[in-house]
Structure 1
């Protein structure tokens, strides 16, 4: 066994990772295994683990279960997900190809399945996102040893549901450790009020359904710019935002929940901010990618501080942006293609830039640089630090909340009225005028038009060739 293999084995032993576990519930023995999907892996650009094909891996594990265990039910807890397209829906592919699974509890895609998906004897269930629902189901074993669904419901989680006292006490104990072992290092407590808010912020559903300026995305992007030094542009994608802000008190817990993802190089929870540089040409490309691609991948919608643009959704893909510029103190600044601009974002977003390059086969290329213009090899080396400590993204938001004026005179900041309206950070020009649709063509539109013309030419040539062949055949038959 090599040193690397020993380290892997040690890690699995440390964390108690197993292919499956068997639990006893009453008279029923249940084998539980897990799966991590292909799309999930694409969303984890820095993952250092190697994964087998999920279908093949689960199939192998199920065979082990059937060989070594006498169980009544096999359950797969999956992070593969479901999609509307059945042929791309990973958990449905899992159900079709590993028929001995009785139940797949699906995650990753945040699907809220009002009714289970069924493929032969396998049921797929999913209760949505962010703990909004609890899924409840009952299964009854039939004469063939498989299971029939007898009931299924998604129960919305609300204040009307009374918590289990014992469970709630345990949660409270754990939350106390959050204050003592985590937030104290940042100078906060979870219930500390940072600001008072009377503004209606966009919901998470708005970020997915509306491709326009968002005051929720804007306040977070502005927070990043506020916490860092000499920033030209700060960027936050919608997929990293995990909660909105309601009216009333905004606490440390609220802010942390809004940007709770990840971990830093320091091993401490929370993605840190990173400092990078992009050229003006790359900033314009970022706006174009947002305008053209984010309707297909809503988690990639961008909200920025300092970068403003106008786009027309009716224009050709990758040529939708009609105006793009920087702002500082309310003043318009034209972007210079070859100039370097200081960009701040969170570590995860920076790491995902490489995925854009790969997915577009280099056509859409971003290369984060240092302030001298040298390509950055490791983004973790460019984490923003203060006194040796990483500046966490959620902490930047907390600081920004505290920075607002105390307009009520009660010693607590009030969220600025600035966020009650939009400010042309992202303008949608829905014109269908032919002039507006074809003006300002770029290299991408030229490439697409060229490709279309080549395809048309090939079709015409093919038709002419077929006609010539048909004529020859007719002449021979006369």
Structure 2
């Protein structure tokens, strides 16, 4: 009885802003849309921290139960997704061979989805193979709609890879748009990737048409050629608090004939839709935590929101309809991937007596955190164990916020949990997971990396960097690119040492991170530069040649973390996360002093240059004003 009351309480807690399912009834002048986005292969339910409690949430069984419950009430409803259905759990490791999420979406009754940036995580080849795998399964599949991949432009891309992807699109039946007929209405649906989504797809290997231009082109076709009554965009673009950067809001202003935008990419949960002109923007959150439901009513001039709800998927699973298929995919993951690491899917690696920071907080707060400390420490420890007597000292390990995809909750920690934390990417071995690499940076470049964290993070949260082996202080009130006020190397005993600007220091980080650090110069307009080097000080041109190997295998980021937490002292046969990771270690210190002296002291060369420019401009302004006043005075004298 207590358990029943607990689940009822949790359901009510998550349903405060929801409308009862009973409010949604079939009506000839209404169209009902069920929607998701950014599910990232979260096929099974998982635990989240809520008010000191762990609650199991999400998963495709819960999602399917809710979808089927609704479809029984209105079989003419549309079920739609706005991309990034893949990449985020161990199920992604069979993306190329099985494409599990897309196939399960078909079984759940999804009508359409689009492509997100993470569908390109395994490069062009990965997406190509995943589409063939899905089609060859003969399972029921959703339509894939994407309008702004440019298959005609081969500039800066591999023509063969692009043509192979085009063939897989044709084989699957990928379209720019699709017209559905529901309740006598013609509904045009199209999909696209937005600007940031495109920029976050460095391995896509294709070119893209401008999203706004693409939307205008498709909307015109849907209006003039297809004569549709309702236009829906599955947009992997997103919304932001900063309206000047909020892509789907900007698209709504530019392309006024879109009636509804299902907005993915930014993992946003909109408990109320955004309405701009006649365009409605809806988002339901990420990781299969919620199902969005919107009921649109036609008043002959436009579509209005009749009902809108975000349903949290926390309910008990009544029917495990998908279980056989999910178990099949889990067996494939075990055989095709985990057996290579001698690990099991749900194997317990360690126990934590405390919760680490939830991922949504980690993304939004600019500070040191225990989870990245644990991750970066694991990189160094893994290399030490591999190199043994030949170990060459690592000065620092670096991980960016953008590659940390999950957290650690109090209690037992499984292989699956650890993989989810560092799930991104693939190595040249074509085995999922970014490998670690070894590079060398000068002391000056280490300071620059800290400055990237301090100055770029406020504009791009994924660029927040965390260090092992370093201690630095920054003041967010200072001039951009001049926020770091001190930087030291930390030895194993926590002792601080000044860095030598010209000395080379060994750094371990992920393959993707090293590649991103190398483009700092371009992104900072040439004001800052980080050039990863080999041990002789030569610029690295091919990062894949500097991958760290464990025997013949690439040392994957997630595997380094898994072996590290498994190595801790044990209680009752289970490793325990040390108490040191329950608190911070002052690796990154934020000094919020806004006094004049704190803001202007210790200017670096960038600041000195900018200050000089400002002073020169001020002097010129003073001279111009003086000349103007002098002429004005002479003019008055002449008139007199």
Give the TM-score of the pair, scaled to structure 2: 0.69
User: How is 1:56-135 mapped onto 2 (pairs within 5 angstroms)?
Assistant: 56-69=213-226, 71-135=228-292
CA distance in 2, matches of 1:286, 1:6: 37
Contact 1:212 1:428 in 2 (8 A): yes
User: Are 1:284 and 2:441 an aligned pair?
Assistant: no
Q: Deviations over 1:155-183 (max 9, x none)?
A: 2233x353652234433432332222222
Give the C-alpha shift of residue 477 in structure 1. Answer: 4.0
Contact 1:133 1:155 in 2 (8 A): yes
Q: Secondary structure at the match of 1:166?
A: coil
Contact 2:153 2:207 in 1 (8 A): no
Give the C-alpha shift of residue 401 in structure 1. Answer: 1.1
Number of aligned residue pairs: give it: 474
The change in CA–CA distance for 1:175 and 1:62 in structure 2 (over 3 A counts) is farther
Structure 2: unaligned runs, 5 residues or longer: 1-151, 385-391
Contact 1:370 1:376 in 2 (8 A): yes
Q: 1:152 aligns with which of 300, 305, 308?
A: 308
User: Are 1:20 and 2:177 an aligned pair?
Assistant: yes
Range moving further from structure 2, 133-142 or 2-11: 2-11
Range moving further from structure 2, 375-384 or 4-13: 4-13
Give the C-alpha shift of residue 55 in structure 1. Answer: 0.5
Q: 1:446 aligns with which of 585, 603, 608?
A: 608
Give the TM-score of the pair, scaled to structure 1: 0.91
Contact 1:45 1:352 in 2 (8 A): no
The change in CA–CA distance for 1:429 and 1:95 in structure 2 (over 3 A counts) is closer
Partner of 1:327: 490
User: Are 1:340 and 2:504 an aligned pair?
Assistant: yes
CA distance in 2, matches of 1:262, 1:89: 27
Q: Secondary structure at the match of 1:404?
A: coil
Give the C-alpha shift of residue 217 in structure 1. Answer: 1.2
CA distance in 2, matches of 1:163, 1:285: 54
CA distance in 1, matches of 2:454, 2:534: 27
Contact 1:207 1:298 in 2 (8 A): no
Q: 2:584 aligns with which of 411, 422, 425?
A: 422
Give the C-alpha shift of residue 57 in structure 1. Answer: 1.3
Give the C-alpha shift of residue 26 in structure 1. Answer: 5.7
Contact 1:45 1:351 in 2 (8 A): no
Partner of 2:516: 352
Partner of 2:348: 193
User: Are 1:394 and 2:550 an aligned pair?
Assistant: no
Contact 2:297 2:305 in 1 (8 A): yes
Partner of 1:381: 545
The change in CA–CA distance for 1:150 and 1:255 in structure 2 (over 3 A counts) is same
Contact 1:45 1:355 in 2 (8 A): no
Contact 1:46 1:351 in 2 (8 A): no
Partner of 1:405: 569
The Cα RMSD (Å) is 2.5
Give the C-alpha shift of residue 235 in structure 1. Answer: 0.5
Contact 1:103 1:122 in 2 (8 A): yes
User: Are 1:301 and 2:464 an aligned pair?
Assistant: yes
The change in CA–CA distance for 1:18 and 1:294 in structure 2 (over 3 A counts) is same
CA distance in 1, matches of 2:322, 2:256: 36
